[in-house]
A and B are shown apart, each in its own frame.
Chain A
Amino acid sequence: MARNREGLVLLLDVGPSMHRVLPEVQKICSMLIQKKLIYRKFDEVGIVIFGAEDTDNELTIEVGGYEHVVVLRNIKVVDGDIVEALQELPRGTVAGDYLDAVVVGMDMLIKKYQLTNKGKKRICLITDAQNPIKDPYKGTKDDQVSTIAVQMAAHGVRMETIIVRGRLGEDIDQRIVDENDHLLHLFSEKTSAKTVYVESPTSLLGALRTRDISPVTIFRGDLEISPKLKIKVWVYKKTSEEKFPTLKKYSDKAPPTDKYATHEVKVDYEYKSVEDPSKVIPPNQRIKGYRYGPQVVPISSVEWDAFKFKPEKSVKLLGFTNASNILRHYYMKDVNIFIAEPGNARAAIAVSALARAMKELNKVAIVRCVWRQGQGSVVLGVLTPNLSEKDKTPDSFCFNVLPFAEDVREFQFPSFSNFPASWQPSEQQQQAADNLVMMLDLAPPGKEEALLPEFTPNPILERFYHHLELKSKQPDAAVPPLDRTLKKITEPDPQLFSESKSVVEAFCKSFEVKENPKLKKSTRRLLQEKPSGSDDEGGYGDTSNALAIKSDESQLLAKADKIGDLTPVQDFEAMMSRRDNPDWVAKAIKDMENKICNMVENCKGGDNYCKALECLVALRKGCILEQLLPMAGTKTIQRFPSPSFQTLPGEKAWQFLGISCIKRAHIDFHIRSHRQ
């Protein structure tokens, strides 16, 4: 048996007012159990529902009362049965009394564990706290709650409460809500209880931490302000990415009749000489090599150990600096937290004083950290104050890793002010953008902040565990579509967007985007790609947009069937790019040649002449693109009357064509021979 197993009782309100969020309650609770099944197989869980139609619990038999509280599953080691029970929670018919449920849950934990398993007993209450609790036989409700809380503390039971807040405007009795808030707050004062409020179903899914990891320090020791002043601190990870589970490779080679088949796959690595693949080198005969120019320099582990950088374990302050010197995007990794050594009151005050002073002065601290002895590098980071609002939680510092000089790539980008005027937003457009940024507000005052990271579940992991459960029942189950509640994480909230519909529309109307017509079709992909998510209801207006552009183009193209006088170059290019009939290309070239000759022959001054040259350049370019004539345009060039060549300064005509000297000799020859 695992030593750290946890005993947990879920107290779920299934009363009528809870019905609308019960699907989410089911999801989050089964996710909790599913993760326990994978990561904490020995944990034990019981389920209690209240507000139910029936009554079924030991206390009601022993002492009476406690109606409408049903022990759905007694505390037992997690298994598939609990998951299933949670997925089909009965809908209750009466307003539940959460205090009754708490007492029943406590009773279960106490009976099951007596005094063992201390600190690993937990009650998790999910309710909307909209219904009043019954008045006690004697004393006040406050007294009753206090008595229970003292019991709880005595038995080392932790309590976690998730209160589902209704949307505003719903018909609820504010007085009752306030009373319940007050009572539940009493719990957190008297014992280790925590209460969170959620408003949206999405945040309900994120409210219960489904993976319980016991935190481990990465450093315990001194935060050295100077050699004379050292503060005892512990450092933990504050954020750490929960990775997609690592799945085992599966082999289906074993015959289906073999019951004891492990279906495992062994991965073997062999090291072979590049020159002679038949030669296999044993792993310990390998040596690490690093590139030095074109060569590879071998460095043996002995040399490495002898010369490598060996800093001493320490956390040292370099100094304080303005918070504005550290931009947010410099943060390199997941975040650590520095707290004062637990139980060390002086250290706690020192950390608190520094944190509060830093906050006041808007300063941050730069520290150099070597977490472990033997660590091969130092970490440079920034401490920012992380002040606590609750009396029971200490002030602390957040620690973020900063880049070294080598880690920063100094790429230059153009200033926005250097962009052409056509790329700058007009005043009216700027106003539309301002409105959009203001109105699409995810954190409106007085309401819950939407998509708060602490309350947002990982949609991919949710989907994986959902699929896992489906597969455990039916091995060929298809990947389920992304849950409606989870879609609010990956897609815009339709409600928010419809509330500010006019602003969004105004924004879209003020700006215009179109595909770059100069790009070849094959390279265009950005706008045409349709969202190919789990289902298609997210289909946006992209297609119609793309269609509009297409028709625009075809109109443009349809016009160009001869080379006019006004825009000969554009006409020519348009004709060349017509793909409906291969004859267009030949026609375009012929027409262009004629046009140029016309221009040259009727040339009156330099103006026309330049135009002819431009046409010639276009013709040459077009021919090269089509790979028609390697000496494209040279046939035409001979028609330039020789006097006009002299009118151009230098040899501009050639430069215009961008023809190199060698080619030029060739052309000269070409022309000469033609003339003869």
Chain B
Amino acid sequence: MELDPDDIFKDDEDDSDSEFYQQRESSKEFVVYLVDASPKMFSTTCPGEDQKNETHFHIAVSCIAQSLKTQIINRSYDEVAICFFNTREKRNLQDVNGVFVYNVVEREYLDRPTARLIKDFDCIEESFMKDIGSQYGILSGSRENSLYNALWVAQALLRKGSSRTAHKRILLFTNEDDPFGSIKGAAKADMTRTTLQRAKDAQDLGISIELLPLGRPDEEFNVSLFYAQLIGLEDDDAAQFMPSAGQKLEDMKDQLRKQMFAKRIVRRITLLIANGLSIELNTYALIRPTTPGAIMWLDSVTNRPLKTERSFICADTGALMHEPRKLSQSYKNENIIFSVEELSEIKRVSTGHLRLLGFKPLSCLKDYHNLRPSTFVFPSDKEVVGSTRIFIALHRSMLRLNRFAVAYCGSSFHPRLVALVAQDEIISAGGQVEPPGMHMIYLPYTDDVRLIEEFHSESNVRVPRATDDHIKKAADLIKRIYLKDFSVCQFANPALQRHYAMLQALALEEEEIPDTIDETLPDEEGMARLGVVKAIEEFKLSVYGDKYDEESNSVGNGKANEASKKRKAAAENAANESANYDWADLADNGQLKDLTVAELKLYLTAHNLPVSGKKEALISRILTHMGK
């Protein structure tokens, strides 16, 4: 680990930007949505969400629209193309019939989704018949094969980029399980063969073809007629294919908006064990708070991006200077000067390594020994052969003996004492839930821990403690309000989801912002169940006796009432006082600045406006409020 003096001041969290760019280079996804637009897609309907019948075309298109809206937030560097086949008009680079690549301005056929694309695509159904049109592309007697053409166009679109850096997919939406059903004899066999060969060629180039069949309750999509061969299904899989495809369609619609991060090593570190024995580890950030994304400042007039320039001015001489390399700390009425180099030297108490100090039982790791999100550690044999073996041995021992390791992490960003807690792999039906490895937990130092409990124990009286009866009632209560399958990632962050919804509405100029559901609210119905209510009442009776209502009204709210009464009185007073001024007149004559801040605040308080800020801010707030 190089120790870059400039890095010393950077925080781990600061490199979210670099993470952002990193993501761009790592594997992305190129997707071509291939939608059948044959008349059959429009004529067949099935019951939709509101019990209304919806055409298959509508289902496919709205599914793509939903998926695009999620993707632009989750993986905005992925590229998509939307391509219809069995169309009247044609638009594609190969100039083949029956295939129409949908696009909007300022965008290549296969490109990152844009707001414009999503917006226009949202109302594609209105203009589809006029601009693109629907028409069967495979007819007996003609040699046209629109499915073949579509696959060809899709494959050509996906020629971009190497298959090593990008994952390429074709998603095929259709309700025709036998595309060559109308053709007979040798022509059919021939068409089937060439189409399958086309698909195989695409697959050989590393493109995966996925089928999203649309069926009806009374008319199952028979995948074995043709498509099983096209997507390479074995006989056994075919039976399970249909239910899973249905699920996939649902999943596409109901994805959580969640920024995806590529798996990336945060840092490679060495763990020094003893006597010069050291092993190589990679660290990963598995849990980090997600923010709405970086803010870009724009000029509000032109909406063009701005850059921030920082300049340093010497307060004594007014001279422009470079970023100072010296810093000062006032101490004993003097300025003590440190150079940047000295400060980084001070912080360099150890090398960038992780140094093993010993082991402790897990019970020594208290719940309050935490400061920031943990970092995941996984061994690597890339540079030091034998690392993984040692890591596995220690990992097993620590799990078996219920111990964690204490180490000093001398990284330049965040030198700290850390706990390494071994985590065994947890696998559920869905796959890996917790990877095997160790979690590095950053420990506090003495001055980071506050003794709140002692702060409140100054009186000499014993504090009241629960009796066994109280505890028993509490236990009953706990058993009643029990979340059986709680998992930490079951709740979406309502503020973030709201932000994404707002972003989407503004970007697509939607008229109203779609409601987001706050999943974090307690289950009111569950709480109102008889058993729960009874358990709560018994606990209440046991602890509070019959004085619960009395107490809740007097003790706590008493104070709050007083405070709010005071506030109300102040507002009334301000309203009275402020009536003594002719605000409109003062504002018109520019005399507001002659008033004192206290006087200005009277107006603000009377109109229930915030009273914070400097005098100018107050004046401008008053003017804004008056509409001037």
Contact = CB atoms under 8 A, between A and B. Distances in A.
Interface string A241-264: 110110111111110001001111
Interface in A458-516: 458-461, 463-464, 467-468, 471-472, 475, 479, 482, 486, 489-493, 496-497, 504-505, 507-508, 511-516
A237 B490 CA distance: 26
Contacts of A432: 393
A357 B312 contact: no
Interface string B491-522: 11111101100111011000001001010111
Contacts of B439: 328-329
A422 B390 CA distance: 11
A247 to B, nearest CB: 4
B364 to A, nearest CB: 5
A540 B331 contact: no
Contacts of B455: 215
Nearest to A505: B275
A569 to B, nearest CB: 21
B489 A241 contact: no
B359 A286 contact: no
A197 to B, nearest CB: 15
Interface in A327-377: 327-335, 337, 339, 341-342, 344-346, 348-350, 352-354, 356-358, 360-361, 363, 366, 368, 376-377
A346 B556 CA distance: 12
A249 B312 contact: yes
A526 B270 contact: yes
Interface residues of A, number: 229
Contacts of B523: 318-319
B611 interface: no
- Size bracket, chain B contacts: 35 or more
Interface in A194-235: 194, 206-207, 209-211, 213, 215, 221-222, 224-230, 232
B539 A269 contact: no
B453 interface: yes
Given A405-B491, A438-B401, A266 B308 contact: no
B258 A449 contact: no
B453 A393 contact: yes
B536 to A, nearest CB: 5
A406 interface: yes
Contacts of A390: 457
Contacts of A545: 276
Contacts of B321: 251, 253, 265
A187 to B, nearest CB: 11
A307 interface: yes
Interface string B293-304: 111111111111
B133 interface: no
Interface string B273-313: 11111111000111111101111111111111111111111
B2 to A, nearest CB: 8
Interface stretch (B94-102, B168-176, B200-208, B462-470): B462-470
A409 B441 contact: no
A376 to B, nearest CB: 6
A529 interface: yes
Given A295-B507, A327-B434, A409 B285 contact: yes
Nearest to A469: B331
A442 B406 contact: yes
A290 interface: yes
A271 B302 CA distance: 14
- Secondary structure at the A interface, as helix, strand, loop or mixed, is mixed
A512 B532 CA distance: 60
Given A293-B114, A299-B506, A222 B556 contact: yes
A230 B287 contact: no
Interface string A273-300: 1110100010001111111111111111
B56 interface: no
A594 interface: no
A616 B526 CA distance: 72
A296 B533 contact: no
B67 interface: no
Given A250-B327, A437-B398, A442 B527 contact: no
A59 interface: no
Given A227-B527, A391-B462, A406-B493, A288 B483 contact: no
A394 interface: yes
Nearest to A544: B276
A165 interface: no
Which of B397, B410, B462 counts the most chain A CB atoms within 10 A? B397
Q: 6 tightest A-B contacts by CB?
A: A541-B276, A353-B466, A377-B495, A329-B439, A247-B327, A413-B435
Given A215-B450, A423-B392, 18 more contacts: A191-B460, A225-B536, A239-B369, A268-B311, A292-B76, A292-B504, A292-B507, A358-B478, A386-B453, A392-B463, A400-B367, A405-B493, A408-B287, A433-B393, A433-B396, A507-B277, A519-B382, A531-B353
25 contacts: A227-B524, A242-B445, A247-B327, A266-B314, A270-B308, A271-B297, A271-B306, A285-B301, A288-B296, A295-B114, A297-B507, A329-B423, A331-B367, A334-B370, A353-B471, A404-B290, A405-B493, A407-B288, A413-B432, A413-B435, A416-B392, A440-B359, A457-B445, A490-B349, A511-B389
